[in-house]
Amino acid sequence: MPIKRLFAILIFLFFSQAHAFFFILPIPNISKPPTLQSLIDALEKSSDTKAVAFVSEDKLLARKVWVWGHFAGTATQEEANARAIRACEANLLKAK
């Protein structure tokens, strides 16, 4: 008898309560901003040593924040990479 009563109470609670769950799943935005893409295109045409470092962070409601740094000139590739990363880190600190 107590099992039937417990089962009846559970069914009553399950069907008498209206539950609505809404999930917002942001669609990832994987495209680069036009400014960054034009910079990359311009550097690809250059004959200098070049490096681009960029980072993106997803924000609320599928908004994305982009930060980048670049270097082009006469240097070794390792030095160009290091300068681009330092510029990206500096811009990231400014953005926060």
Tens-place pLDDT, residues 39-64? 989 888 888 889 999 888 777 666 77
For 12-35, write each residue's pLDDT tens digit.
Answer: 766 665 565 555 656 666 778 889
Q: Which two tokens stand for residue 46?
A: 């250059």
Single pTM value for the model: 0.61
Distance CA 46, CA 55 (A): 23
Q: Which of the two residues, 55 and 6, has the higher pLDDT score?
A: 55
Q: What is the pLDDT of residue 89?
A: 93
What residue ranges do the domains of the chain occupy? 29-95
Q: What is the pLDDT of residue 46?
A: 85
Taken in order 58, 62, 65, 71, is the CA torsion positive or negative? positive
Q: Which of the two residues, 72 and 64, has the higher pLDDT score?
A: 72
Burial 67-80 (b: 16+ CB within 10 A, else e): bbbbbbeebeeeeb
